[in-house]
């Protein structure tokens, strides 16, 4: 043998050995099963072997997971420990929702049926139950709360017929294996039950059940098996998100052509959306209500009663507290008024001293004129008499207003023009203005809007401001002093401005505090009640009394009252 042939032979042997020693890629299929692991391996191993033969570059292995152990299967999918899954319908849609698996194929049985349903039945010896409506008050057997044919489809059907298993059944028993359900009903341990389609026929074929022993309730026609409920797609074959797309298509093609005993095993996937709607409707599996929501649903009447009772108690307590607060404020206000009687009497004396003094002067003037009848003129007598009447009316109104304040009586409101009050104040104070050589100026806006309040109270406010202005100017060393009163309309208010050319107010922050005064204390001066009560009067009509400005050149106050709107 030449060296060339020897080397060629060696290379071919190595290549041949490498080809046969290449390890095929492993593909793992997880399978749910109600049969038990040994029976499931025996049933599904032929499918894995078939795929391995038809796709020699891959080795297909199966992992069987008992159907009740959903958590284990879901964890394997989450960790990508498997590549494909064969699962019952609820698990199929939940895995799709949770981990984005894709459903490709739907399983077909020996009769070519690609859907499953639920069968509701009772024992033929139970003569009291002949239809679904007669199930109320009886016990009921099912598989588990999360199985379509073993419970969910029956639950959906029963509720559609106006039956609530939680309220209308004496007991619901979940017995796991579907054989157990049939045996429990036949032997009288349960009044009725439900299994998935095909179970009864399979048990009859295996000699485990006598067809004459059971009675199907509300049986549907045109379906190969006994059926009571609606139907949904059968078990599915799904791929995980990480699987190769090309390989996935090849596997689907191989399974679509796979037959057992001349019967096709798989078909293109049906629409599983109806199952998603079904479990969402009945709050099952991943759509199950949280524990606190379940608690609220089961106890909503008691919770509602507690909420209403709590709301009532809160409102009752709040009303009690508000009543106490109102009573306390009322008593406090009354106490404040009573405790201030001496101060108010001093203030009343202060308020009345000027007009009474003026009355005395007018009365003396009138008496002197009447003594000398020869020089007495009727016009002068009438003028002084009018002044007397006006000043007397003002004193009476002032006393009445104070009495109303102390007795809590409502002061009557009237609609009037504030220009009249401004003119009245200057007339009432003309003697005092003349005494202190103070000039009064009026700047009144024509067509001033009316206001609605007590005219006497406005007089009291303006008189207080004007007298304060006079007090600020009477000891002023200026060659001339002026009390100015002006009116104007600003937006929705009527403003009355009272200004002086007196000293600057020092403590502006506490100017409106009760018993706080900017004047020197004397027997003839008030105790600082004036500004506080004046602001209170104005605010009671939704108005405001404020200091506009104060400097060495004088001070200015603004009285702002809402204009009257005729509705």
DSSP per-residue string spanning 316-363 = HHHHHHHHHHHHHHHHHHHHHHHHTHHHHHHHHHHHHHHHHHHHHHHH
Are the CB atoms for 250 and 141 separated by under 8 Å? no
Task: Work out the angle at residue 192's Cα, subtended by the Cα atoms of residues 190 and 195, and round it to the nearest 5 degrees.
Answer: 110
Highest mean pLDDT range out of 82-91, 321-330, 456-465?
Answer: 82-91
Task: Report which secondary-structure segment, H or E, holds 30.
Answer: strand 25-33
Q: What's the pLDDT score for residue 542?
A: 93
Give the C-alpha separation, 148 to 32, whole Å.
14
Q: What is the pLDDT of residues 467-480, one digit of tens each?
A: 889 988 887 777 78
Task: Work out the angle at residue 9's Cα, subtended by the Cα atoms of residues 5 and 12, and round it to the nearest 5 degrees.
Answer: 140
In terms of pLDDT, which residue wins out, 550 or 19?
550
In the predicted structure, residue 270 carries a pLDDT above the cut 60: yes
Alpha carbon separation from 453 to 225, 233, 416 (Å, rounded)? 92, 83, 8
Give the C-alpha separation, 61 to 51, whole Å.
10
CB atoms within 10 A of CB 468: 24
Give the C-alpha separation, 139 to 155, whole Å.
14
Strands of 84-87's sheet, edge to edge? 58-66, 25-33, 84-87, 236-239, 102-107, 266-268
Are the CB atoms for 264 and 108 separated by under 8 Å? yes
Structural domains of the chain, ranges and CATH numbers in brackets: 3-112+236-277 (3.40.190.10), 115-233 (3.40.190.10), 340-562 (3.30.565.10)
pLDDT band of 87, cuts 50, 70, 90 = very high
Q: What is the mean pLDDT of residues 27-41?
A: 86
Give the C-alpha separation, 113 to 2, whole Å.
68
Q: What's the pLDDT score for residue 8?
A: 62
Q: What's the pLDDT score for residue 120?
A: 96
* Selection from 427, 556, 552 nearest residue 478 by Cα: 552
Q: What is the mean pLDDT of residues 398-406?
A: 63
End-to-end CA distance of the chain: 129
CB atoms within 10 A of CB 444: 16
Q: What's the pLDDT score for residue 17?
A: 52
In the predicted structure, residue 387 carries a pLDDT above the cut 80: no
Q: What's the pLDDT score for residue 374?
A: 63
Q: What is the mean pLDDT of residues 370-389?
A: 72
Q: What is the mean pLDDT of residues 438-453?
A: 93
Q: What's the pLDDT score for residue 364?
A: 74
Range of lowest pLDDT (11-20, 199-208, 221-230, 456-465): 11-20
Collapsing DSSP states into helix, strand and coil, what is residue 306?
Answer: helix
pLDDT band of 342, cuts 50, 70, 90 = low
Calculate the average pLDDT of the chain.
83
Range of lowest pLDDT (20-29, 208-217, 268-277, 303-312): 20-29
């Amino acid at each position: 043998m030449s060296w060339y042939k020897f080397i060629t032979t060696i290379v071919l042997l190595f290549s041949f050995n490498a080809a046969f020693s290449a390890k095929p890629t492993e593909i793992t299929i997880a399978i749910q099963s109600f049969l038990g692991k040994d029976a499931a391996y025996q049933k599904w191993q032929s499918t894995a072997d078939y795929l391995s033969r038809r796709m020699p570059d891959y080795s297909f292995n199966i992992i069987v997971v008992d159907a009740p152990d959903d958590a284990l299967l879901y964890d394997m999918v989450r960790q990508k420990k498997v590549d494909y899954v064969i699962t019952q319908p609820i698990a199929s849609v939940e895995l799709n929702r949770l981990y984005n698996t894709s459903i490709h194929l739907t399983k077909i049985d020996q009769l070519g049926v690609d859907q499953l349903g639920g069968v509701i039945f009772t024992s033929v010896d139970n003569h009291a139950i002949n239809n679904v409506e007669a199930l109320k008050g009886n016990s009921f057997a099912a598989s588990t709360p999360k199985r379509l044919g073993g419970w969910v489809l029956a639950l959906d059907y029963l509720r559609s017929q106006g039956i609530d298993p939680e309220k209308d059944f004496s007991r619901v028993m979940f017995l796991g294996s579907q054989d157990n359900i049939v045996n429990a009903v036949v032997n009288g341990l349960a009044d009725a039950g439900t299994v998935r389609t095909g179970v009864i026929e399979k048990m009859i074929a295996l000699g485990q059940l006598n067809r004459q022993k059971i009675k199907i309730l509300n049986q549907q026609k045109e379906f190969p098996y006994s059926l009571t409920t609606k139907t949904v797609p059968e078990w599915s074959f799904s791929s995980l998100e990480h699987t190769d797309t090309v390989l996935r298509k090849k596997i689907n093609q191989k399974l679509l052509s796979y037959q057992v005993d001349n019967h096709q095993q798989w078909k293109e996937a049906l629409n599983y959306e109806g199952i998603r709607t079904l479990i969402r409707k009945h709050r099952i599996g991943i759509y199950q209500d949280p524990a606190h929501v379940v608690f609220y649903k089961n106890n909503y009447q008691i919770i509602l009663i507690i909420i209403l009772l709590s709301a009532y108690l809160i409102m009752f307590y709040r009303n009690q507290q508000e009543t106490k607060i109102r009573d306390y404020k009322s008593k406090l206000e009354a106490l404040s008024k009573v405790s201030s009687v001496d101060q108010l009497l001093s203030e009343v004396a202060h308020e009345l001293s000027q007009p009474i003094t003026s009355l005395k002067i007018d009365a003396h003037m009138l008496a002197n004129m009447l003594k000398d009848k020869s020089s007495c003129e009727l016009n002068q007598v009438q003028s002084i008499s009018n002044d007397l009447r006006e000043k007397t009316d003002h004193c009476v109104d002032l006393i009445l207003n104070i009495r109303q304040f102390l007795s809590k009586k409502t002061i009557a409101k009237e609609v009037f023009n504030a220009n009249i009050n401004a003119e009245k104040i200057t007339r009432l104070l003309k003697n005092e203005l003349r005494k202190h050589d103070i000039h009064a100026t009026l700047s009144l806006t024509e067509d001033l809007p009316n206001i609605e309040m007590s005219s006497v109270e406005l007089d009291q406010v303006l008189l207080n401001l004007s007298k304060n202005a006079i007090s600020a100017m009477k000891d002023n060393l200026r060659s001339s002093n002026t009390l100015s009163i002006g009116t104007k309309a600003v937006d929705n208010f009527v403003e009355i401005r009272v200004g002086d050319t007196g000293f600057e107010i020092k403590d502006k922050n506490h100017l409106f505090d009760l018993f706080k005064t900017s004047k020197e204390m004397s027997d003839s001066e008030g105790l600082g009640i004036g500004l506080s009560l004046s602001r209170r009067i104005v605010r009671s009509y939704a108005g405001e009394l404020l200091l506009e400005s104060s400097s060495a050149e004088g001070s200015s106050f603004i009285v702002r009252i809402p204009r009257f709107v005729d509705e």
